[in-house]
Amino acid sequence: MKIKTMQELLDAKILCCEENVEKHVYSACGCDLMSDVLAYVKDQAVLLTGLVNTQVIRTAVMMDMLCIVFVRSKAPTEEMLKLARDTGIVIMTTEKRLYEACGLLYSNGLVGNKAKS
């Protein structure tokens, strides 16, 4: 699924790296615990979260994620946006709650990550 398609489905606002919205993501992870995020497959993934701190960006970078969607209208700090810009990670925010946002993406064909063995 293209990041642009996710943005439309979630009625999300793009906050940085809009030049990368034509990239594809192949899986998603909805989580507020960054330690749990580390347990998932990393390739071409999107992270949906309500947690707003720099560890979210650092975790996404470590896991080679292409996009972060902040749910419940959460807004990242300027420091977080700078980190995202430096690495090209698309940052979006949506009014939708985590459950609804994940459900919308899943029902439109974006699969979840499989836990590592």
Q: Is 39 part of a structural domain of the chain? A: yes
The percent of residues in the chain predicted with pLDDT above 70, rounded, is: 91
CA-wise closest residue to 91 among 30, 26, 9, 3: 3
In a domain, 68, yes or no: yes
Per-residue model confidence as pLDDT tens digits over 25-75 = 988 889 888 887 777 656 668 999 999 999 999 999 988 899 999 999 999
114 located within any domain: no
* pLDDT tens digits, 74-90: 999 999 999 999 999 99
Rounded Cα gap, residues 72 and 80, in angstroms: 17
Domain tally, the chain: 1
Give the CATH number of the domain where residue 87 resides: 3.40.1390.20
Tokens representing 37 are 């995020």
pLDDT at residue 34, as a whole number: 84
Are the beta carbons of 84 and 76 closer than 8 angstroms?
Answer: yes
pLDDT confidence bin for 111, thresholds 50/70/90: confident
Structural domain harbouring 72: 3-109
